[in-house]
Amino acid sequence: MIDRIPILQIGDFLLITIQVDMHDQLALQLQDDLTARIAKTGARGVLLDISTLDVVDSFIGRMISNISSVAGVLSARTVVVGMQPAVAITLVELGLSLPGVQTALNAERGMELLRLAMDEEASGDAVGQ
């Protein structure tokens, strides 16, 4: 059993692909690793790919929400991509609508969203200066 999920850096963004069954310890470890990496690299966006995740519980649901909030505090945007229908239905039935978490259908669209957000921020900064 693996004990951590790899976090890949692509330019300004961090890419996390969850390809194993999430258990609670793994989720906590991921949160720790991610916050450390964002702080270290100054990444501006996080892409969380859960397209192969087909079982969720309330803990994992809250973890997704937490990751997004923590990244937000460190001024990085999070986009959750590729959620399976069954997972979406389960989260809704659990009452976890993940407010404030951005979503996209697949990794490509998610990347687009992140770039768009970066561009907006960049132009916003330019106007501010």
Which residues of this chain interact with another protein, rule CB under 8 A?
Answer: 80-85, 87-89, 91-93, 97-98, 103-106, 109-110
Min separation Cβ 55 and another protein, Å: 15
Among residues 75 and 106, whose Cβ is nearest to another protein? 106
Contact 52, 83 (CB under 8 A): no
Q: Write down the least CB distance from residue 39 to another protein, Å.
A: 27
**With respect to another protein, which residue has the nearer C-beta, 29 or 102?**
102
CB of 4 to another protein, least distance (A): 26
Could you give the CA distance from residue 18 to residue 53 in angstroms, rounded to a whole number?
A: 7
* Residue 41 neighbours by CB under 8 Å, 6+ apart: 9, 14
3-state secondary structure at position 21: coil
